[in-house]
Amino acid sequence: MKSCGIIVEYNPFHNGHHYHAKMAREMSGAEVVIAVMSGNFLQRGEPAIIDKWTRAEEALNHGVDLVIELPFAYAVQSADYFAAGGVKLLQALQCDALCFGTDNHAEMDYKLFGEFVNKNQTKIDEAYQQIKNNGLSYPQQMTEVFRKLYPKNGLDFSSPNHILGLSYAKENATYEKPMMLYPLKREQAGYHDTTIYQNFASATAIRKAVFSDELDQIRQVLPTQVAIDLVNSATVSWETYWPLLKYKLISSSIIELKAIYQMKEGIEYRLQEAAKTSDSFQAFMEKAKTKRYTWTRLQRLATYSLNNVTQQEIENSWNHSFIQVLGFTEKGQRYLREKKKDLALPLITKVSKNLNSELAVDIRSNQVYQLGDHRILEQSFGRFPIRIS
């Protein structure tokens, strides 16, 4: 069975995601669409608005055949790591193609770009070393590096989806059998848009509507099931976890904070001080913000802190990857059966306690996520893949 992968977050699932799954199938001619989806904490360092099992079920009802969890150690990361995890899992699943959204670069040859980067990594690193202290942001620096080395494409590293696309392409080119790449032009709603269009809206706009109790204004951009879930299920945000993060930052010693993944350069002092005097996550972020740290980087640090994650645990997770199945349709299940013997990573269809060590970060982050609302069910143990017939 021919398959096409998509790497997603679904925060929450909306019509644009439905369209993406549909187009992935159409463009690639694949029989099976595989979504590698972030779990309960997301790339930009946020808790998912709805838990991963609910989001997986929504996806399975709207064009996806198989949902695999992207582990925390890859999901809550900058584009390169996020992409590395997603591509690793799709490759392990013997996936034939990858379809990803791109903002204004659907015409670009991503494959060529990926091959170029793989051949010229030393040159790229050298060029980066020369300008890395020029005071610009990392995206701006990367734009500059590639303007010099790869002039034929006007690469722009400030568009989040495009950056991810480039990262997928780079990563994919490192494999023996790269997947076919299908960039998909986004229709209407850009990543950061907060306006709601007729039938599409960005996830950002939808979350905003949910938390300001204006769900009625966005029903038309959501599948019916999702609209119902957003009312009936627990919806959480960073503010939900703020009392716990505040407690964590206040009750930890500086030495303990220093042990948190990515906590360096003295930022631990700044976070602790900001926590003491803030009454909301928003206020905390505004106080902690510096030129040196982007909002997203700080949010990731907050997520690592909340989940008490260390460098060693992240590396341990990288070294012990699994294909954790959140759900499948009949077709997705058939695909798994067909490929079972050729999978490059061990398959998990039920988390058992003897994976406590390998899955430490994922299990812990699931438990912390569950503290956000008493209606959130157990996220790890005793859960079987969702099966949609």
Residues that bind a copy of itself (CB under 8 A): 243-244, 246-248, 250-253, 256, 276, 279, 306-308, 360, 364, 367-368, 371, 374
Q: Crossing angle for the helix pair 138-149 and 121-131, nearest 10 degrees?
A: 130
Please give the Cα distance from 257 to 271 (Å, whole number). Answer: 9
**Residue closer to a copy of itself, measured from CB, 176 or 255:** 255
**Residue closer to a copy of itself, measured from CB, 19 or 304:** 304
**Amino acid letter, 271:** L
**Residue closer to a copy of itself, measured from CB, 192 or 276:** 276
**Residue closer to a copy of itself, measured from CB, 158 or 312:** 312
Annotated binding site for ATP: 7-20, 101, 161, 186
Question: Residue 356 Cβ, how far from a copy of itself at the closest point, in Å?
Answer: 10
Question: Residue 365 Cβ, how far from a copy of itself at the closest point, in Å?
Answer: 9
**Amino acid letter, 167:** S
Please give the Cα distance from 321 to 338 (Å, whole number). Answer: 21
Question: Residue 262 Cβ, how far from a copy of itself at the closest point, in Å?
Answer: 17
Q: Phi, psi at residue 47, to the nearest 5°?
A: -70, 145
Question: Residue 122 Cβ, how far from a copy of itself at the closest point, in Å?
Answer: 39
**Residue closer to a copy of itself, measured from CB, 130 or 312:** 312
Question: Residue 289 Cβ, how far from a copy of itself at the closest point, in Å?
Answer: 22
Question: Residue 280 Cβ, how far from a copy of itself at the closest point, in Å?
Answer: 11
**Residue closer to a copy of itself, measured from CB, 19 or 369:** 369
Question: Residue 91 Cβ, how far from a copy of itself at the closest point, in Å?
Answer: 31
Annotated binding site: 7-20, 101, 161, 186
Please give the Cα distance from 364 to 345 (Å, whole number). Answer: 22
**Residue closer to a copy of itself, measured from CB, 230 or 306:** 306
